[in-house]
Chains A and B, each alone.
Chain A
Amino acid sequence: MSMMVTAIQAIEWCTRLLAVYVLIDSAEKLYNHRAFRPGGFFGWAALRQHLFFASRPLPVRRLLDVLFDFRGWMALLLLRGLSGIALLTLPHHPVFGTAGLLIVFVAGSLVNFRQAPFGAETENRFALALTGALLLRSLVPTQLVTEVCLLFIALYTCVSYVTAGVTKWVDPAWRKGEGLLEVIHSPDLVPLERLAAFFRRYPGAGRALAWATIGIECLFPLALVAGPPFFWLFLIWGIVFHLTIAVVLRLGKFFWVWVATYPAIIFIAQ
């Protein structure tokens, strides 16, 4: 029995895993609907006064008033969530698949735009690159574009890991092995006293883990050239790494968007 993953299967699983992120993120934002009401923390009435929006031409501001006001925003988030369901269940459907990716891409871009005064969410920025590539492939579904799309996703993921690894490496705290301990000892990031106590008792374990993180992040592109079965080691590390982050740091959405790229890495690496 062949274990080879075809390009179509890789696209399908990238789309499905991305859809899980879209569903969770849209549902979490809809759950926080009170914060988006007029007078709420993310309410448009206050946000529209920010220079980032107030300096736009009048027709743009009028459009934003419709899109970003409570009702428009909830409708857009709902549409994004429904598109997530369509992508999860019918990733290859010629209409729902393409329309779903288009809506997720446009809505995701608007999420970043509306959130700009507070800072865009990293996981959404990553998801947009993945969605953009899948959307282009859905519009031009030839064999060549499909393979280039998977190559783009795989390389983009490698760039993200290498950037994360190198920036840790040049940071003095991480180089001394203290970076990870700083994260673990931050009650805001990791409110798990027992875990913090363990690393206070065994700081060497924290330092070793910090260097392992830097090393594997920097070397991750080897997954694309190491060939089978070695590339699986990088992917297993990635799944364990993101799962740990999801559990300990409560950044569960990072898991879905980064792991959503793994089918593309498998296709390129096999």
Chain B
Amino acid sequence: MHQPVTATEIFVICLLAGWLLLTILYALFNRRVAAITRRYDLFRWLSAYQLFSTTASDYRLLYRDQLTDDSMTEWTVISLTPVWKPWHLLWFPQKLVTHTIHSLADDLVTGLAKRKGTTAAAKINERFLYRALQRYVQQQPCTPGLAGRQFRIDKLTGLPGSPEYSEAFISNFHQP
């Protein structure tokens, strides 16, 4: 014999049904409602799983130092691609930082391209992503006599198999 459905059960079922419905709506209209979800979905409970629908560009991050005698060091490449190892299948903590740096570089380059010539582009060094990249670059090993450090983002432009990079962004010099 069926037991009557309780109010608690109805409440839980409604919660799960609502979550599923909102997820479907978010998958359909995520671009249109992005401003609303950014503001109200603080814990990011809604998600649209548009995995690999568009491939982000490849970048490399470089820095160089200005020394107290006004000379410059050569550009140093910071690897954002840790060498592939079999255990990365289970354990890959390096990805946490390198993946975030890569996303920030992509956001900075694509954001600048969209806002080219605007005040927002001129004030890019006040933005969080610029300062986060700058902070990361400043943490790299110091050259003796360091007076300032500058970073550069290069975008991969070559054909598959013959990688070539072109400059996509260059920062100001920042004191250590």
Contacts and interface: CB of A to CB of B under 8 A. Distances in A.
B128 A164 contact: no
A80 B163 CA distance: 42
Interface stretch (B47-55, B69-77, B110-118, B142-150): B47-55
A200 interface: yes
A228 interface: no
Contacts of A247: 86, 89
B96 A32 contact: yes
Grouping DSSP codes into helix (H, G, I), strand (E, B) and loop, the A interface class, with mixed when no group exceeds half, is helix
B19 interface: yes
B16 A149 contact: yes
Interface residues of A, number: 71
Interface in A168-227: 168, 170-171, 173-174, 179, 181-183, 185-189, 191-192, 196-197, 200
Contact of A133 (B16, B53, B80): B16
Contacts of B97: 32, 35, 41-42
Contact of A155 (B9, B20, B50): B20
Contacts of B6: 142
Nearest to B163: A187
Contacts of A129: 19, 23, 45, 47
Interface in A107-161: 109-110, 112-113, 116-120, 122, 125-126, 128-129, 132-133, 136-137, 139-140, 142, 144-145, 148-149, 152, 155-156, 159-161
B29 interface: no
A252 B89 contact: yes
Interface string A4-40: 0000000000000000000010011101100100010
Nearest to B23: A159
Interface residues of B, number: 59
B12 A136 contact: yes
Given A110-B43, A187-B156, A250-B84, A159 B24 contact: yes
B33 interface: no
A250 B27 contact: no
Contacts of B91: 24, 27-28, 252
B23 to A, nearest CB: 6
Interface of A: 24, 27-29, 31-32, 35, 39, 41-42, 46, 49-51, 109-110, 112-113, 116-120, 122, 125-126, 128-129, 132-133, 136-137, 139-140, 142, 144-145, 148-149, 152, 155-156, 159-161, 163-164, 167-168, 170-171, 173-174, 179, 181-183, 185-189, 191-192, 196-197, 200, 246-247, 250, 252
Given A41-B100, A145-B12, 17 more contacts: A28-B92, A41-B97, A41-B136, A110-B43, A113-B42, A113-B44, A119-B103, A128-B45, A129-B23, A136-B15, A136-B16, A140-B12, A186-B56, A187-B163, A191-B81, A191-B82, A250-B89
